[in-house]
């Protein structure tokens, strides 16, 4: 956020402030080599998966990062070494791709299962319907995590969604689960259950995690659509605030100091990385 | 199933079928998927016998083109080699996001850490009585997109060898077949795929005019050339639009000085303009005259007389050749 205000980031970003418990809890329940696809609001998923914060910041800053060399930016990052097959800038577009990853996992027979995160707004995309039906009839294990933060871009989801995500699962003969998405331990347990259920049943499982977005849809969003007092109310259930209560004052202080140092150090090192070379722009279009 | 050694002349569709069979038999990572490809043996027979022989590596999908392309992409990124059949090219438009935003970008944005070695097979072009949603020729749309490879085979031999090359390619490849050509027969070279990806075929040599074509245009041009009054033509079947064999075309026009491009797709904004522009830039005044024959600027109508009025025809090709010879 600081980098944005300093003008170090080209364009906008979609921050997941307030939603951190979903990726943190889910990644605890997953194998490190379970394929992962996220929304464009995927920063938390990449960090929870273990991506080096230096590489991560460098990519957002348009530096020659170890991730994607500045080609992906904030909203389309991937980390192949960490089995992250990409954020996606097109709402819902990761779900069909997850079906194919699931097909590949099933053929490999090594117990891996893909996980795709989408927002509640993505539930109204045609390709999400297509993919849930297809994964179900083709008996492909996969987990769809719906991060329901109450807003589809900048419009309240309730105005746009006739039937909530978890209830829709039944329409595809899938199990649909709900969880408090601000509680990382609850997310971990529900996703772990979803993982077993999906592998055992050979069908996709949907997990709707209820959470709150404590920022705008994108970094320049003034959020004039927010009712007065809403943000203040949601800040009470901020997973970081809740998590702090689990620790002693001393423990919490130490964690906060450690994280602040880690972030500051990673950011400084990322800023120091050079910009990608212009002649790189024409490479990797084709295999040869 | 018969093997190539048993067969001399094959139909175009049987050549496709044999290329798929070869890929499934030799590479365990190859899968075939699409609507009606497994139990029903393929809407046009391209996948006949494959499900019986290869079981769950040949997969019937719901009628969900976006999910189909995305599934092929995910499977490819996950280590498989999917060959997806989309029954009509017109249906590709349902899956444009997955093709253009997802498949084409996977390698570039990840700096080749992720790749999408998949094939989308489809057929296109006018078939009598088919309407504007089952008759388009869409190759230029996809040749426009960096990251995709595009091939348009016009003979059984190329239907076989180009599909083999496509499946072996590390890039996503779209192969546009022609339903009208499916019954046509020709010799298919057994064994390894013989033409390189992006390599054109010079069908005949001549000195006065270069004619560049692909897909259904080839037969049309050959028929036009049967006329005794036809000029001496260097006929190049481009076969691939991405990458395309600009070197062969420039070399030819360098000798003949005249260029005609014949394709079934819309003339406006079409790939013919790309060919003419590239040759013009390379040769300058060495290109004395150029022209295009394609679909006149309308959707394709169903009734045969209406379709004939707008599609490229032998007489339109002949007239265009004569006009260029007067320059």
A286: contact with B, CB 8 A cutoff: yes
DSSP A192-221: HHHHHHHHHHTS-EEEEEE---SS-SSTT-
Beta partners for B202? B236
Mean pLDDT computed over A17-23: 96
- The predicted-structure confidence for B169-228, as pLDDT tens digits, reads as follows 999 999 999 999 999 999 997 665 667 999 999 999 999 999 999 999 999 999 999 999
DSSP A164-197: -HHHHGGGGT-EEEEEETT-HHHHHHHHHHHHHH
DSSP B104-172: TTHHHHTTTSS----EEEEEES--TT--TTS----HHHHHTSTT-EEE---SHHHHHHHHHHHHH-SS-
Mean pLDDT computed over A87-101: 97
Chain A positions touching B61 (Cβ under 8 A) are 134, 138
- How far apart CA A64 and CA B106 sit, in angstroms, is 18
Q: What angle do CA A273, B116, B242 make, to 5 degrees?
A: 100
Which residue in A51, A97, A172 has the most chain B C-beta atoms within 10 A of its own C-beta, making it the best mutation to test that interface?
A: A97
- How far apart CA B77 and CA B113 sit, in angstroms, is 10
Instruction: Give the minimum alpha-carbon distance from B82 to chain A in angstroms, rounded to a whole number.
Output: 9
DSSP code, position B58? E
- The predicted-structure confidence for A224-252, as pLDDT tens digits, reads as follows 999 999 999 999 999 999 889 999 999 99
Chain A positions touching B66 (Cβ under 8 A) are 96, 126-127, 130-131
Q: Which of residues 135-164 of B touch A (CB under 8 A)?
A: 146-147, 149
pLDDT of residue B11: 96
B223, containing H or E segment? helix B217-225
Instruction: Give the minimum alpha-carbon distance from A229 to chain B in angstroms, rounded to a whole number.
Output: 39
A80: contact with B, CB 8 A cutoff: yes
pLDDT category of residue A5 using cuts at 50, 70 and 90 = low
Q: Is B96 helix (H, G, I), strand (E, B) or coil?
A: helix
- How far apart CA B97 and CA A135 sit, in angstroms, is 19
pLDDT of residue B1: 47
Which of B239, B157, B155, B237 has the alpha carbon at shortest distance from B202?
A: B237
pLDDT category of residue A180 using cuts at 50, 70 and 90 = very high
Count of A–B CB contacts within 8 Å?
A: 144
Tokens 């040949």 appear where? Answer: B58
Q: Say if the Cβ atoms of A287 and B101 lie within 8 Å.
A: no
As a whole number of angstroms, the longest Cα–Cα distance in chain B is 60
pLDDT category of residue A11 using cuts at 50, 70 and 90 = confident
Q: Say if the Cβ atoms of A96 and B75 lie within 8 Å.
A: no
Mean pLDDT of chain B: 95
The tokens of A146 are what? 């719906």
Q: Say if the Cβ atoms of B66 and A127 lie within 8 Å.
A: yes
> Could you tell me which chain B residue has the CA closest to the CA of A78?
B110
DSSP code, position B181? T
Q: What is the dihedral of CA A218, A220, A223, A229, to 10 degrees?
A: 90
Chain A positions touching B100 (Cβ under 8 A) are none
A269: contact with B, CB 8 A cutoff: no
What pTM did the predictor assign?
Answer: 0.96
- How far apart CA A146 and CA A144 sit, in angstroms, is 6
Which of A164, A239, A250 has the alpha carbon at shortest distance from A207?
A: A164
DSSP code, position A70? T
- How far apart CA B110 and CA A254 sit, in angstroms, is 37
The tokens of B244 are what? 């395309």
Instruction: Give the minimum alpha-carbon distance from B67 to chain A in angstroms, rounded to a whole number.
Output: 5
Q: Is B310 helix (H, G, I), strand (E, B) or coil?
A: helix
Q: What is the value of ipTM here, to two decimals?
A: 0.96
Chain A positions touching B77 (Cβ under 8 A) are 85, 97, 100-101, 104
Asked if residue A29 lies in contact with residue A195, where contact means CB atoms within 8 angstroms, the answer is yes
B96: contact with A, CB 8 A cutoff: no
| pLDDT for B145 beyond 80 | yes
Which residue in B59, B60, B74 has the most chain A C-beta atoms within 10 A of its own C-beta, making it the best mutation to test that interface?
A: B74
pLDDT of residue B129: 85
B60, containing H or E segment? strand B58-60
- How far apart CA B295 and CA B293 sit, in angstroms, is 7
Other beta carbons within 10 Å of B58? 25
The tokens of B252 are what? 């030819």
Q: Which of A85, A108, A138 sits opposite B59 (nearest CB)?
A: A138
Q: What angle do CA B250, B255, B258 make, to 5 degrees?
A: 75
Q: Say if the Cβ atoms of A138 and B69 lie within 8 Å.
A: no
Q: Say if the Cβ atoms of B74 and A72 lie within 8 Å.
A: no
Asked if residue B147 lies in contact with residue B101, where contact means CB atoms within 8 angstroms, the answer is no
- The predicted-structure confidence for A271-280, as pLDDT tens digits, reads as follows 999 999 999 9
pLDDT of residue B191: 65
Q: Is B126 a catalytic residue?
A: no
A138: contact with B, CB 8 A cutoff: yes
pLDDT of residue A6: 76
Instruction: Give the minimum alpha-carbon distance from A148 to chain B in angstroms, rounded to a whole number.
Output: 23
B101: contact with A, CB 8 A cutoff: yes
Q: Is A69 helix (H, G, I), strand (E, B) or coil?
A: coil
Q: Say if the Cβ atoms of B74 and A114 lie within 8 Å.
A: yes
Other beta carbons within 10 Å of A28? 15
- The predicted-structure confidence for A104-156, as pLDDT tens digits, reads as follows 999 999 999 999 999 999 999 999 999 999 999 999 999 999 999 999 999 99
| pLDDT for B4 beyond 60 | no
A282: contact with B, CB 8 A cutoff: no
Tokens 């040869």 appear where? Answer: A288
Other beta carbons within 10 Å of A227? 8
The tokens of B239 are what? 């076969």
């Amino acid at each position: 956020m600081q980098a944005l205000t300093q003008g170090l980031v080209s364009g906008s970003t979609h921050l997941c402030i307030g939603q951190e418990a979903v990726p943190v809890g889910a990644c605890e329940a997953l194998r490190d080599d379970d394929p992962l696809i996220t929304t464009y609001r995927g920063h938390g998923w990449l960090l929870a998966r273990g991506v080096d914060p230096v590489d991560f910041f460098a990519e957002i800053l348009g530096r020659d990062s170890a991730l994607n060399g500045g080609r992906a930016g904030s909203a389309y990052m991937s980390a192949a070494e960490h089995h992250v097959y990409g954020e996606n800038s097109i709402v819902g577009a990761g779900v069909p791709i997850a079906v194919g990853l699931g097909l590949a996992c099933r053929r490999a027979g090594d117990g891996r299962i893909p996980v795709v995160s989408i927002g509640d707004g993505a539930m109204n995309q045609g390709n999400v319907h297509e993919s849930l039906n297809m994964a179900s009839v083709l008996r492909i294990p996969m987990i769809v995590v719906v991060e329901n933060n109450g807003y589809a871009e900048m419009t309240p989801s309730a105005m746009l969604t006739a039937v909530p995500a978890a209830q829709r699962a039944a329409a595809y003969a899938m199990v649909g689960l709900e969880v408090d998405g601000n509680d990382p331990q609850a997310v971990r347990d529900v996703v772990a259950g979803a993982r077993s259920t999906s592998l055992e049943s050979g069908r996709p499982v949907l997990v709707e995690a209820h959470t709150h977005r404590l920022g705008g849809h994108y970094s320049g969003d003034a959020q004039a659509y927010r009712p007065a007092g809403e943000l203040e109310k949601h800040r009470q259930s901020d997973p970081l605030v809740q998590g702090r209560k689990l620790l002693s004052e001393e423990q919490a202080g130490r964690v906060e100091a450690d994280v602040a140092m880690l972030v500051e150090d990673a950011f400084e090192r990322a800023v120091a990385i050079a910009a990608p070379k212009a002649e790189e722009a024409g490479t990797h279009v084709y295999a040869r | 199933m018969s093997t190539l050694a048993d067969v001399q002349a094959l139909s175009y569709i049987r050549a496709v079928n044999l290329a798929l069979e070869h890929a499934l038999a030799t590479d365990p990572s190859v899968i075939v998927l699409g609507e009606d490809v497994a139990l029903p043996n393929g809407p046009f027979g391209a996948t006949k016998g494959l499900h019986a022989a290869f079981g769950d590596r040949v997969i019937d999908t719901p009628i969900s083109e976006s999910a189909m392309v995305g599934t092929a992409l995910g499977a490819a990124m996950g280590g498989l080699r999917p060959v997806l059949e989309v029954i009509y090219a017109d249906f590709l438009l349902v899956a444009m996001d997955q093709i253009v935003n997802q498949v084409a970008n996977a390698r570039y944005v990840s700096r080749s850490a992720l790749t999408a070695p998949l094939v989308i097979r489809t057929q296109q072009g006018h078939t009598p009585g088919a309407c504007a949603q089952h008759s388009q020729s869409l190759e230029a749309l996809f040749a426009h997109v960096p990251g995709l490879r595009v091939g348009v085979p016009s003979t059984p031999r190329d239907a076989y060898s180009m599909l083999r090359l496509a499946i072996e390619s590390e890039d996503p490849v779209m192969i546009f077949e022609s339903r009208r050509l499916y019954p046509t027969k020709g010799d298919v070279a057994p064994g390894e795929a013989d033409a390189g990806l992006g390599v054109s075929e010079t069908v005949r040599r001549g000195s006065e005019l270069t004619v560049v074509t692909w897909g259904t245009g080839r037969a049309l041009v050959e028929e036009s050339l049967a006329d005794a009054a036809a000029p001496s033509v260097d006929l190049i079947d481009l076969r691939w639009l991405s990458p395309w064999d600009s070197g062969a075309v420039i070399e030819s026009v360098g000798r003949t000085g005249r260029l005609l491009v014949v394709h079934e797709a819309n003339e406006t904004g079409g790939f013919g303009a790309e060919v003419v522009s590239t040759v013009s830039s390379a040769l300058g005044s060495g290109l004395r005259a150029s022209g295009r024959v394609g679909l006149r600027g309308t959707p394709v109508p169903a009734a045969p007389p209406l379709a004939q009025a707008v599609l490229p025809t032998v007489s339109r090709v002949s007239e265009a050749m004569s006009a260029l010879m007067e320059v």
